[in-house]
Amino acid sequence: MARRGNMNKMMAQVQQMQQQMQEAQEQLAKETVTASAGGGAVKATITGGLELTSIEIDESVVDPEDVEMLQDMVQAAVNEAINSAQDLASKRLGGITGGLGDMGLGIPGL
């Protein structure tokens, strides 16, 4: 009987964790991070859900002969914004799981 009680308690904790993760993911989708490249010439903003919401390019750097450089700066800014968003998600979701993924429980996403 004690074993069944422990299992029920663990299942309730897993369900609570799933709810917390869903709420955290919904909140992350509303939060944004911004990164820049080229000394601030290009800025990219992305949500915690990894949706690119804006690209800003300083008009002073727009030169038809520098298109390749501009493309490289945009790519660098977007990649940095994605990395920042992933760091944000990791910080927010890591506290919820409490290291269960490291315990070998085989729970996907934890």
Tokens 């290291």 correspond to what residue?
A: 99
Question: What pLDDT does 71 receive?
Answer: 78
- Give the per-residue pLDDT at 97: 64
CA–CA distances in Å: residue 17 to residues 35, 47, 68, 102: 31, 23, 46, 15
Boundaries of every domain in the chain: 2-98
pLDDT score of 34: 92
- pLDDT given for residue 69 in this prediction: 83
CATH of domain 2-98: 3.30.1310.10
Give me the average pLDDT of each 10-residue run along the chain (110 residues).
78 88 85 90 86 84 79 86 85 70 50
Please state, as a whole number, how many other Cβ atoms lie within 10 Å of the Cβ of residue 12. Answer: 10
CA distance linking residue 20 with residue 36, whole number of Å: 32
